[in-house]
Structure 1
Amino acid sequence: MTFYIEVKEWQDGFFHARGSKDLGLRFQIGHHKGEDCPLVPLSSPNDFVVLDNNGIHEIDIDFCGCLGAPSQVAQLLNVGWYPATSKDPQTAATLSLLRRFHTLNLKARLPAYDFYNGLALLRNGSGLRPAPARLPQFMHMVREYRHLQMCKRAGRIHDIRGLAGTALGELAVVCRACPQPGINLPEGWENAPPDIAWIYRLLVSEDANFKMKGRDHSTRDKDPTLGPGWAYMVANDDYLKHLSTHIDQDEISHCVSFAALWSANNKRAKGLRASGVGSVSCSRHELFRPRGTGDLQKGEKYSNMDYLFFSSLIGITLLTVVASYDIACQWSRNFWARASAMPAKLKLPAGLTMLFKVPKFHLPPHVKSCHGPYSFNYTKGVGRTDGEGVERNWSWLNWAARSISVMGPGSREDTIDDLCGFSNWRKTVDLGNSLLRKLVLAIPQVMIHSRTFHAFTDGLRGEHEAELRDWDALIREWERDPLGSAINPFEYPVVEAETMADVMKRISEEDHARVVKDGASALQVKPAGFLLAGIDIQEDQLAVALEAKRRTRTTIQATELQRKRTVLLGKVAALQDVQNTYMPGLRQWIAQQEPPLPAPDNSRPETIKIFLPSSLPAAARETVCLPQLTQNEDDLRQAQAGDALRELRSNLRTRTFAHQFKRKHMGGQGMYTKSQSLQDGIEDRIRIASARYRAAWAGLLALRGPGDWQTVLQELRAEDVRGINERVMNDEEKADNKKARLLAGLTGDGSEDVDEYGEAIPLTVLFNLETGEGTRHASWLWYSTMGVGEVDADGKLHADIRVEWSKARARADRWREEVVLVEEEMRRTLQYCQWKAQWWEEQLDLRQDVTPELAEGLRAYGLEQVARERAWAENWDAKWQPVRARAAMVLRDDVEDVDEQVFAPIEVDLEEDAREDYEFDDFNEEEA
């Protein structure tokens, strides 16, 4: 039945607004259009108010009073009006209006207060015809509508027991990709061998949210919950009864630097019924767990968080649960003692294994002893889970925090249930895309990280096979008991014995040794000596050229630069005096060049061309050089490359130590200036070593041409020159850096980020322990065959190499596990669809106590659910099939030997827009 905003009447020279009452119109309910009821009840109201999409309307209404007529409530529902009360209704809202508000409230985040006032404005915006006040009635209708929709989608109307038979958590939309025995797990899953059993773990996350406060409005007697414990919020009576026995319990202590934030969250708690909420969700797919959400009365206490956690696991029959919590290091202590004291219905089954982890973003601020044992990156069988999904759920709920905070206790719980349900539903609808995205990402990553790890291992195996076996045993021992006494293989050793003075002394000794070496290098009448002298001069040229690029220099530095140029010019002249002996055809070849080569600039000897076999075209070498001279240079360039790599890695480790030492110990301007001077010297050494390697690599490329040798000696790019535990900034960090630069008045492209030599400073992140660890790639120079021969005094590899090898292994393992897990989640999802379709089929004819009309409606609704479940299974299976086949190809073979066809492009139907723009109509009306 449709209403018009107003009727216009021409009077006094303009149109006046008139309502249907002004025209003497009455609305007949319960009869066909155009029919009047001969027995209109005397109780029919004359001032009935209807809220519709186009405003708030006052009407006169006649109910049907014929013998056998339905109740007034039923008559209103028959015409699509939802009454505000079940007895003598005076107000109603059209179902169309309630559907629209439900949509706008959940998707567009429109509060009920603003929506209602918008309806009042549609009636009349001048205030001369104010709408009758029906905000409380509208709130009641909306709340009942939310609840009935949840019950309908859960199939409660199909059950002979009706709403009274609803079990705890039964109205929740469950995660169909998580393991559910008897539904989506194969028979005998509980007997799976250890190398497979990890795919049947349940991964859940718990967290507290202090933005979801609740003011002390109304009481439960006046505002009860419509479905206590039926969906996501726990049954309040049992919850409060349990909390009453722990009223004096302190808050959970924190070992992290976030502790100040927890303290701030609990300020201004006066006048609050709830200081926030706690919740449990599945870690992999971020769906709220049934019965896993509840109010926190004051702060984050064990009694609250334990009850919510155990409540979310009621009825679990799995063997292992991985629990993620940002303070798991504290929460896990005495966990089983607290579990044994829980109410009987919350007891966990005997034999259940619990693994405790900290979400990746929250782990770095923890004390160092927490980093290894509680890290997802180093835990077997969790794939690429980050544990932060519960935080992303808060971003969904927090938009409604202000309106929810002023609700009574029952309204608050019912609204949170509805919001959690919509969040779960939209993620269920998007499973076809979200799981596909995960697998599309994981397949190339498992290839990249597995091949990187195998290349790393192959580079070590030749001379350090025994150490590799020891490292492998160390990792396995630590994985069996991360909290035990075993050495953490992922923890970099703390080097405190060497002070900054020691570093300065060591660098000075190395510089002195180099000066002695260069001063003693005299030309020998041998081809190798001639080549060695030429290579040494080229290295000196690189050092002088770098110094000449310095943008500002002191008088002493300018004098030193001139001295180096004088020494270098003498070396060049001495080399040219004997060069004709070893390259007799060089002068003739130079004279034949067109255009002529530029004359040497003796004022800048670093620019003078030093001709060696690698400087000549391959065709000219035989006529210009003595026999074997080319091969001799090839051997020397190979050695030069290895020396440069070792020197580069040594200086990078020194830089890492210097940064760590400065951050930990340096205070005051004087100490900072001295440390910065030392770091500048280290950076100069890194630049020179990089330049030496690039010169050697360029010489080898000229002598050999492209070939297999480049898989070991790779081209050294700017982003490759980084420490073993440094990584390049990711796109998000680069974007944040750009924003910060713009706010500081700099250019966003980083053009000002240049060093004193005018070279761009690479955007890297130092000492990142957890965030981004799974996608970090160690620079190739740390696992090149030429670069792994560095040993300590005992002949063992540097401890940093062991740590990075362990991390590379963990990255490869986690990405491979991710492929396995996502493929298993796809299988579970499809099997759940088939199970759910069968479940709906079983509900079709359960009710024999209803009218034929209602029975037909129930059957139609059930058949629609069956069709949707089967359509999902069919569509998702077709969408996933090509990528699942590619995943099977990767998992079938050893990754490093997999056929290159795995890299062939593949088209997938990935609807990126669906991540946030979920279809809502079906959820709001018919979906379960």
Structure 2
Amino acid sequence: MDDRNLFLLEFLWHEGRGDHAGANVCWNCRQGVPQFRCMDCFGSELYCQDCIVVLHAQNPVHRIQDLGLCVQLRHPAGEYCLLPERAFDDDFTLIHTNGIQTIGLDFCGCETAQTRTKQLLRVAWFPATTIDPRTAATFRILEQYHLLSFESKASGYEFYHSIARLTDNTGLLPGKDRYEAFIRMIREWRHLKMLKRAGRGHDPGGIENTRSGECAVLCPACPQPDKNLPHDWRAAPKTKGWIYGLFLAIDTNFRLKRRNMSKDSNDPGLSRGWAYFVDETTYKGYLQAHSGKLQERSTCSSHNAVNMADTKASQGLAATGVGTIDCARHNMKLPNGVGDLQKGERYANMDFLFFSTLHECCIDTLNVSYDIACQWHKNLWQRMSTMPPALHIDRFSKFIRFFVPKFHLPVHILKCQTTFSFNFSKNVGCTDGEAPERGWSNINPVASSTKEMGPGSRRDTLDDHFGDWNWKKVVGLGAMLLRKMDEAKEEDEAHRTVFEELDGALKRETSEPWKLEVEHWEYNPNDSSVTNPFEAKVTPITQAAVRLKFMEMEAHDLQQGIDISLHPDISPSVFIASGIDLENEQHVQALYTPTVQLLNSRSESSSQAVEITPEDAKLFLPSTMQTESMPCNMRLETIEDWVCGQSTNTRARNSLSRVEAKASTAAEKYRAAHLALSSLAPVLGKVGWNVKYKVLDKKDDVRGMSVPKNGESEGRRQLSWIWLVEGVGDDQDEVVQDSLRVEWCKARARSMRWAEEVELLNEEMRRVLQFLRWHASWWNELGRARTLSTAADNEGLVAYARCQAQLRHDLADHFQTIDILQ
């Protein structure tokens, strides 16, 4: 702040001629009149007109104060044209990094002159049209906006008008509006850069020879046959072959909407299914044929994605969002795995995207993650039969499993939480299936601009952003996999130790049957008749079950000729249950309308007789009568005790209460014994005893087997050490034993998942290196694949191919280096 005056005065110094205020001659030739200064060159020197023109022959778009610009394009051989052809009477618009400028432009007019389009491209100016171009943008400004759009998600409108304000920030000198031309140029630029980076310019068949998905950036860490897998990968034994499986994640994004404006005939896409979006013609044709089929209702939780797919609001929208298929472990969009949604998350849309991604996949093991997988996978193969034959896969030759992402799993019913869990399934490592969710934060900011685009413009723009996202993932794979490996090794060691301690604390005859049971389930994951070891076997006692039990007892009494009912329609158990329900409703009323209590108190204190309405009347259930020292039928007291005991619990409350009381007593007894041992050990010379018998002072130590620490997920949860000491399995209470069995299975699963994660990461790191080396060789071969008419054209092909090949080698070397340094 002390230097503000200094900075401000220096700003103002640049508004004048600075140190050259008294100059009488040109800084360069020392003869001409010093009238002009370049605003973009280094320094503030003043030059004469002839010198500044000569000095800027290679920098024509520098801003020179008070001097117009006229450019003469060169002859094909490189010399200046002897027969210049003036373009449109000094009415050519050039968009460049320093502003939007109207210039005079002389095209080459010689007999050997190239087309105007090619003349502009040769000087790195991108024409807005190929027919009599009157506007162009420099390659530099297009490249600048291209990268800025990826990082900031700035719209073309915002960028163009920022450049316009560089030219004139007052509006007093309005130039011609070239916004639409700029938007068209940037869209074509995006498309051409995609083709260039995919090697399409090196194909002898040309761009039209491009196949579906060929321009997508592939994931080097995913299994890619003939690219990063061993030649004998298919022959790998089952104990090894799982690491060559493909992990897929399906998800939708309802922020990427598109308004119902324009249509494909007016705004066709340039890619036509060459990258991430599926081919629109085939896709829309299939959806049209299945538009009248209603969505199947969910039998799990009330998933809006399933149950509201046919009713989701779509008024005024041509697309309510997009569906995508990603690689579940590395968060990259897969080729032909993206498509528009028209009415929410309908199976028809997601089926088409899923099979479009897989139709050329020859991987034998597929692990598919989807937040509604429990519903979607039903009848999937029957639905596949209605799709175009080119999208069919041989499901009988593949091992396919379906999962629900870890974060989404808790909202599913209990059976789904074990059947479709990554945590409990073998050979999946620590995959969580949530990869697509992490990518939406990157693409969501473009929703506001793409929502207003035509269909083709939007698809091309999103394709480009998805490609950039994939590329950034590729260059970051080395660091990401290394970080995950360090974490996995640490967790692997910790969970292996925890499980070994728990297993060692149990008797062999206790854990051996559990092991056989869980292994049988792991090897038969798709067999619903096999008992799931992660589900509790002790039947929960619910309030409804208690009521049913008493009704059965009363029915039995009636059969025996015993009837204690005092009402023909209401038995004692129904009377008590109804009373409890009414009491609960009274409590709810007090909660939502507290003033009721005030009204009641006023009525009671009033000397006048007040009519008591049924909802205000005290019910005097047996428990209330006891507090008033009033007699009551013992049978009714027993019923209320049982029913109330279950009203807020879904598990066996009595058994759990006994366990909690025993735990509290045992903890106090343990603390007393530990204190005594601490005093006696030095006297008796005992050492090392406190390694096994730790101090029980932390709040988290005394917790249930299935209770995590604050912030712990199921995949990282560790048992408290109190469950790892010898004798933990001696308690024969059926609730304790069943909980112990489930927890033993889960601890085993956690240990196995982290061990698998280490193995899987090792394989992925190997695959990344092999893929990059393969891709480098592919580029080197591509550089020799096409021969053009001139040496200059051929040199460009070879130079770019070698550059791309070297880039892959450099990435591989870098990944290996950081691995070695660790």
TM-score by length of 2: 0.76
For 1:755-774, list aligned pairs within 5 A: 772-774=713-715
Q: Deviations over 1:347-376 (max 9, x none)?
A: 113512211110001111011111111000
* 2:183 corresponding residue in structure 1: 139
> 1:427 and 1:171, CA in 2 relative to 1: closer, same or farther beyond 3 A?
same
Equivalent residue letter for 1:163: I
- The 1-side partners of 2:655 and 2:229 are apart by 61
Alignment pair present for 1:779 and 2:760? no
* 2:443 corresponding residue in structure 1: 397
* CA positional deviation for 1:823: 0.1
* CA positional deviation for 1:422: 0.6
- The 1-side partners of 2:731 and 2:672 are apart by 22
* 1:287 corresponding residue in structure 2: 332
* CA positional deviation for 1:340: 2.5
Paired residues of 1:5 and 1:122 also in contact (CA < 8 A): no
- The 2-side partners of 1:812 and 1:678 are apart by 30
Alignment counterpart, residue 208 of structure 2, candidates 164, 185, 198 = 164
Paired residues of 2:426 and 2:753 also in contact (CA < 8 A): yes
- The 1-side partners of 2:126 and 2:740 are apart by 71
Q: Secondary structure at the match of 1:718?
A: coil
Q: Deviations over 1:591-627 (max 9, x none)?
A: xxxxxxxxxxxxxxxxxxxxxxxxxxxxxxxxxxxxx
Q: Deviations over 1:209-263 (max 9, x none)?
A: 1111111111212211111110000000011111111011234544555634777
Paired residues of 1:44 and 1:63 also in contact (CA < 8 A): no
* 2:673 corresponding residue in structure 1: 696
> 1:699 and 1:867, CA in 2 relative to 1: closer, same or farther beyond 3 A?
same
The worse-fitting range, judged by mean Cα deviation, of 470-479 and 264-273 is 264-273
* 2:253 corresponding residue in structure 1: 209
* 1:827 corresponding residue in structure 2: 766
Alignment counterpart, residue 463 of structure 2, candidates 410, 417, 432 = 417
Q: Secondary structure at the match of 2:708?
A: strand
Alignment pair present for 1:710 and 2:696? no
For 1:870-881, list aligned pairs within 5 A: 870-881=809-820
Alignment pair present for 1:792 and 2:733? yes
* 1:241 corresponding residue in structure 2: 285
Q: Secondary structure at the match of 2:231?
A: coil
* CA positional deviation for 1:396: 1.7
For 1:101-500, list aligned pairs within 5 A: 101-251=145-295, 253-255=297-299, 257=301, 259-260=303-304, 267-349=312-394, 350-461=396-507, 465-482=508-525, 483-493=527-537, 496-497=540-541
Q: Deviations over 1:869-912 (max 9, x none)?
A: 1122222123224xxxxxxxxxxxxxxxxxxxxxxxxx63xxxx
* CA positional deviation for 1:131: 3.0
- The 1-side partners of 2:511 and 2:658 are apart by 35
* CA positional deviation for 1:76: 1.1
- The 2-side partners of 1:661 and 1:806 are apart by 31
Equivalent residue letter for 2:146: H
> 1:660 and 1:126, CA in 2 relative to 1: closer, same or farther beyond 3 A?
farther
For 1:835-846, list aligned pairs within 5 A: 835-846=774-785
> 1:337 and 1:437, CA in 2 relative to 1: closer, same or farther beyond 3 A?
same
TM-score by length of 1: 0.67
- The 2-side partners of 1:704 and 1:415 are apart by 73
- The 1-side partners of 2:182 and 2:457 are apart by 13
Alignment pair present for 1:81 and 2:125? yes
Measured on the aligned residues, the alpha-carbon RMSD in Å equals 3.2
* 1:918 corresponding residue in structure 2: none
> 1:261 and 1:205, CA in 2 relative to 1: closer, same or farther beyond 3 A?
closer
> 1:45 and 1:720, CA in 2 relative to 1: closer, same or farther beyond 3 A?
farther
Q: Deviations over 1:281-335 (max 9, x none)?
A: 0011111000000001111111110000000112111111111110001111011
* CA positional deviation for 1:112: 1.1
Equivalent residue letter for 2:715: G
- The 2-side partners of 1:660 and 1:391 are apart by 39
The worse-fitting range, judged by mean Cα deviation, of 277-286 and 332-341 is 332-341
Q: Deviations over 1:566-610 (max 9, x none)?
A: xxxxxxxxxxxxxxxxxxxxxxxxxxxxxxxxxxxxxxxxxxxxx
* CA positional deviation for 1:94: 0.8
Number of residue pairs the alignment of both structures matches: 664
Paired residues of 2:38 and 2:63 also in contact (CA < 8 A): no
Equivalent residue letter for 1:709: W
Paired residues of 2:314 and 2:342 also in contact (CA < 8 A): no
Alignment pair present for 1:71 and 2:52? no
- Which consecutive residues of structure 2, in runs of 5 or more, have no partner in the other structure? 1-36, 47-61, 547-643
Q: Secondary structure at the match of 2:137?
A: strand
For 1:29-40, list aligned pairs within 5 A: 29-30=73-74, 37-40=81-84
* Structure showing greater relative contact order (alpha-carbon pairs closer than 8 Å, 6 or more residues apart): 1
- The 2-side partners of 1:501 and 1:94 are apart by 77
Q: Secondary structure at the match of 2:793?
A: helix
Q: Secondary structure at the match of 1:171?
A: coil
> 1:92 and 1:273, CA in 2 relative to 1: closer, same or farther beyond 3 A?
same
Q: Secondary structure at the match of 1:773?
A: coil
Q: Percent identity?
A: 40
Q: Deviations over 1:777-799 (max 9, x none)?
A: 01111221043211137xx9711
> 1:3 and 1:852, CA in 2 relative to 1: closer, same or farther beyond 3 A?
farther
Q: Secondary structure at the match of 1:323?
A: strand
Q: Deviations over 1:472-505 (max 9, x none)?
A: 1111222233451222211234553498999xxx
Equivalent residue letter for 1:698: L
- The 2-side partners of 1:832 and 1:29 are apart by 44
> 1:398 and 1:93, CA in 2 relative to 1: closer, same or farther beyond 3 A?
same
Equivalent residue letter for 2:705: I
* 2:555 corresponding residue in structure 1: none
- The 2-side partners of 1:393 and 1:234 are apart by 19
- The 2-side partners of 1:681 and 1:452 are apart by 27
- The 2-side partners of 1:877 and 1:57 are apart by 49
Q: Secondary structure at the match of 2:753?
A: helix
> 1:3 and 1:358, CA in 2 relative to 1: closer, same or farther beyond 3 A?
farther
- The 2-side partners of 1:695 and 1:151 are apart by 75
- The 1-side partners of 2:733 and 2:78 are apart by 100
- The 2-side partners of 1:124 and 1:683 are apart by 77
* CA positional deviation for 1:698: 2.1
Q: Secondary structure at the match of 2:85?
A: coil
* 1:662 corresponding residue in structure 2: 648
> 1:375 and 1:679, CA in 2 relative to 1: closer, same or farther beyond 3 A?
closer
* CA positional deviation for 1:135: 1.1
Q: Secondary structure at the match of 2:94?
A: strand
* CA positional deviation for 1:661: 6.7
Paired residues of 1:21 and 1:58 also in contact (CA < 8 A): no
Paired residues of 1:225 and 1:409 also in contact (CA < 8 A): yes
Equivalent residue letter for 1:722: R
- The 2-side partners of 1:659 and 1:432 are apart by 57
Q: Deviations over 1:795-854 (max 9, x none)?
A: x97111101000000000000000000000011111111111111111112221232112
- The 2-side partners of 1:475 and 1:875 are apart by 43
Q: Secondary structure at the match of 1:827?
A: helix
- The 1-side partners of 2:802 and 2:81 are apart by 37
Paired residues of 1:251 and 1:300 also in contact (CA < 8 A): no
